[in-house]
């Protein structure tokens, strides 16, 4: 088995967007059709489709779905209505910068078509969404090519949450070096953090790595320090939802703890991202809005209540890892090392 056995996370077929419903994994593999703006919003908000690159692609195609109902409007009304829809879709997940990046990119293409008919406008934005999708496929492969040499024979690799094929169009960001190292016949072992409270590590990362034939072991989040101390881990690779200009990195809650532990044990800590995840407008991590999610995610495990009724709950979906804990960023343009404020801006040029 290899990553070739993995399904595509998103498919655009006959003007309908199909996504894998990731809330059903690993028990059920179901693709759901997204036919209108509310379908797309709910799919992103409820994590049917998730991962920064994947929701960027979903947002881009989502605008195309929205545009289909405005084809009989005047060009001005077409643009105005789609602008309102763009704001609505963009509010679904505030932390992951790829969503706003993709939506802005599609709308920029639209604003360059003021003299076009609505049919022509639709063709233009669909072309842009398709390009975003295809670029993500290429970008993930390039991230894998730049990162695979970090993985040496016999390594143990820790990852957190899911920055895998399911979080992108395919191959993933953090997992792309693993899949391409597998392609080179390297032997290594991956330890996947469970990632409470929604267990993306156990439900998604473990599922896809096992399906691809990667040697993967699932651990609870609170086991990471012990596993590192035992000498089983030689490398940490995670993804990110937004990276500030100075290299501060917002990723799934729990990543900060993993980075601190890796620093303590002298283990390299890499963040794998497409350059579209860079937010140069945010100077540092304090400028990144952190999504707060509902209390039921913490108070229930599946359908079983695991906390007292009416207990107060704090449930931030992300934390921010300061740049000094990051060994390097694996991007489609190469591995970026400190000083990040200079070198991250440089790769965007």
- Give residues with Cβ within 8 angstroms of 154, minimum separation 6: 187, 188
Q: What is the DSSP-derived secondary structure letter of residue 30? A: -
What's the pLDDT score for residue 94?
85
Q: Return the residue matching tokens 């209505």.
A: 81
What's the pLDDT score for residue 318?
96
What's the pLDDT score for residue 345?
95
Q: Residue 250's beta-bridge partner residues?
A: 242, 320
- pTM for the complete prediction? 0.93
Report whether 182 belongs to an annotated binding site.
Answer: no
Report whether 292 belongs to an annotated binding site.
Answer: no
Q: Which residues of the chain have pLDDT under 70?
A: none
Q: List, for residues 224-282, the tens digit of each pLDDT value.
A: 999 999 999 999 999 999 999 999 999 999 999 999 999 999 999 999 999 999 999 99
What's the pLDDT score for residue 257?
98
On whether the CB atoms of residues 162 and 128 are closer than 8 A, the answer is no
For the annotated catalytic residues, the residue numbers are 241
What's the pLDDT score for residue 155?
98
Q: What is the DSSP string of 321-336?
A: E-GGG--EEEETTEEE
- Alpha-carbon distances of 135 from 95, 140, 141, 161, rounded to whole Å: 22, 9, 10, 23
What's the pLDDT score for residue 302?
82
What's the pLDDT score for residue 32?
97
Rounded Cα distance, 348 and 335, in Å: 13
Q: What is the DSSP-derived secondary structure letter of residue 14? A: T
What's the pLDDT score for residue 202?
97
The CATH homologous superfamily for domain 3-141 is translation initiation factor eif-2b, domain 1 (1.20.120.420)
- Alpha-carbon distances of 19 from 34, 37, 134, 206, 305, rounded to whole Å: 8, 14, 16, 19, 29
What's the pLDDT score for residue 5?
85
Report whether 200 belongs to an annotated binding site.
Answer: yes
Domain with CATH 3.40.50.10470 in the chain: 146-348
**Omega before residue 21 within 30° of 0, cis:** no
The CATH homologous superfamily for domain 146-348 is Translation initiation factor eif-2b; domain 2 (3.40.50.10470)
Domain with CATH 1.20.120.420 in the chain: 3-141
What backbone phi and psi angles, to 5 degrees, belong to 117?
A: -75, 165
């Amino acid at each position: 088995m290899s990553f070739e056995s993995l399904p595509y996370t998103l498919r655009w077929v006959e003007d309908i967007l199909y996504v894998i419903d990731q809330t059903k994994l690993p028990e059920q593999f179901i693709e759901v059709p997204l036919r209108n703006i509310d379908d797309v919003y709910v799919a992103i908000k409820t994590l049917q489709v998730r991962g920064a690159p994947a929701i960027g692609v979903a947002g881009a195609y989502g605008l195309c779905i929205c545009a289909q109902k405005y084809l009989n409007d005047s060009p001005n009304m077409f643009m105005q209505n789609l602008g309102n829809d763009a704001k609505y879709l963009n509010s679904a997940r505030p932390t992951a910068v790829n969503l706003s990046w993709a939506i802005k990119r599609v709308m920029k293409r639209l604003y360059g078509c003021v003299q076009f008919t609505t049919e022509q406008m639709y063709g233009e934005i669909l072309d842009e969404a398709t390009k975003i999708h295809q670029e993500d496929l290429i970008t993930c492969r390039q991230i894998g090519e730049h990162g695979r040499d970090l993985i040496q024979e016999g390594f143990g690799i820790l990852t957190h949450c899911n920055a895998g094929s399911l979080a992108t169009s395919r191959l993933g960001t953090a997992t792309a070096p693993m899949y391409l190292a597998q392609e080179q016949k390297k032997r290594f072992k991956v330890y996947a953090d469970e990632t409470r409270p929604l267990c993306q590590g156990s439900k998604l990362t473990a599922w896809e790595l096992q399906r691809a034939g990667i040697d993967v072991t699932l651990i609870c989040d609170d086991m990471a320090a012990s596993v590192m101390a035992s000498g089983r881990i030689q490398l940490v690779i995670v993804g990110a939802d937004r990276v500030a200009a100075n290299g501060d990195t917002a990723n799934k809650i729990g990543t900060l703890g993993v980075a601190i532990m890796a620093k303590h044990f002298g283990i390299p800590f890499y963040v794998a991202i497409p350059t579209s995840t860079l937010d140069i407008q945010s100077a540092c991590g304090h400028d990144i809005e952190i999504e707060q999610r509902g209390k039921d995610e913490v108070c229930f495990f599946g359908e079983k209540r695991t906390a007292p009724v009416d207990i107060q709950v704090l449930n931030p979906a992300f934390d921010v890892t300061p740049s000094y804990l990051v060994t390097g960023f694996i991007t489609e343009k190469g591995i970026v090392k400190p000083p990040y404020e200079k070198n991250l801006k440089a790769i965007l040029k």
